[in-house]
Amino acid sequence: MTGTPSTAEAARRVLVLTHTGREEARHVALACFKALITHGIVVRVPAQEAVELGLDLSLPEDGFEFAEPDHDLGADCELALVIGGDGTILRAVEVTHASRTPVLGVNLGHVGFLAEAEVEDVESTIDAIVHRRYTAEERLTLDVRVFHGGDEVFRTFALNEASVEKAARERMLEVVVEIDGRPLSRWGCDGVVCATPTGSTAYNFSAGGPVVWPAVEALLMVPISAHALFARPMVVAPTSMLAIEIIAGAAGTGVLWCDGRRAVDLPAGARIEVTRGDDAVRLVRLHEAPFTDRLVAKFGLPVEGWRGASARRRRESS
């Protein structure tokens, strides 16, 4: 760490992560730095991002901490403020997973389902942070393990989904899927998505899976372009284990992607096991809004003509 003020031990800290490739995000980040520091909050910034934002790491800067890549970025921070889209938020989830630091997203992307605030809400968002007017909502995660030859060769977690996909466009993936230790079906397919309720509006949604409210505890399995009689999206218990085996001797090989960020090649004979994760991800909420309203706002759903329950009650009483 560099640039740490002498009173840092007693100071409040906020980690700020930015999509530095976007000019608007850089401007918003610098404004957030100034506002947080003005209120006595120490701002922690990854060193590389600090350089990309024009901060000078060689000079001590009051109110800043510059973190090296091997540092636990979320340690001792009350939350992580993320300026970008869902991809940047998923990166924040990855680097703060060990510390379970709550993540607050300011959306500068397209849909931004994981974000709590839009860019025009930055001033009120900073005010909520300063006065601690926020709550942390726990979201179910996935524990993902890959086995080959009986040995565990890879392990990670996912907030949205773990997707097993074919490695080559011209070759179908041959898999057997299993739930709770029992085989369900064999598919020739482009892949299989295992998702959380949080991820139900992401890749799962694009693959034809159901939208599941975040308060519902469940695991989802959705085949992608499967050539099979029974290949429907499935919602199973949160205590279930989902497994996908790539048929040994089949021509196609696969790739496992977790949240679109962490990948590992899957040879024929590989087995992927997905269960509920031990550690939930904490997403910051600034206000209590029904998930229905979020769906309508993020997807731009048409709701003209709705009069609500009060209108029905008036009609029934007249």
Task: Evaluate the CA torsion angle 305, 311, 317, 318 in order and state its sign.
Answer: negative
β-pair partners for 106: 83, 117
Question: Which of 70, 72, 76, 86 is labelled catalytic?
Answer: 86
Burial-class residue 164 by CB neighbours within 10 Å (0-12, 13-18, 19+): buried
C-alpha distances in Å from residue 228, one per residue of 154, 176, 243, 272: 29, 12, 18, 20
Q: Which of 188, 196, 189, 244 is nearest to 218 (CA)?
A: 196
CA 41, CA 14: separation in Å to the nearest integer?
Answer: 7
CB proximity list for 57: less than 8 A, separation 6 or greater:
2, 3, 47, 50, 51, 66
Residue 127 host element (H or E): helix 122-130
| 265 among known catalytic residues | no
Q: Which of 5, 92, 83, 20 is nearest to 55 (CA)?
A: 20
CA 55, CA 48: separation in Å to the nearest integer?
Answer: 10
Q: Which of 246, 162, 262 is nearest to 202 (CA)?
A: 162
CA 53, CA 86: separation in Å to the nearest integer?
Answer: 20
**CA 32 to chain CA mean position, Å:** 22
CA 15, CA 7: separation in Å to the nearest integer?
Answer: 17
Q: Give the pair of three-digit tokens for residue 29.
A: 């980040």
Question: Hey, which residues are catalytic here?
Answer: 86
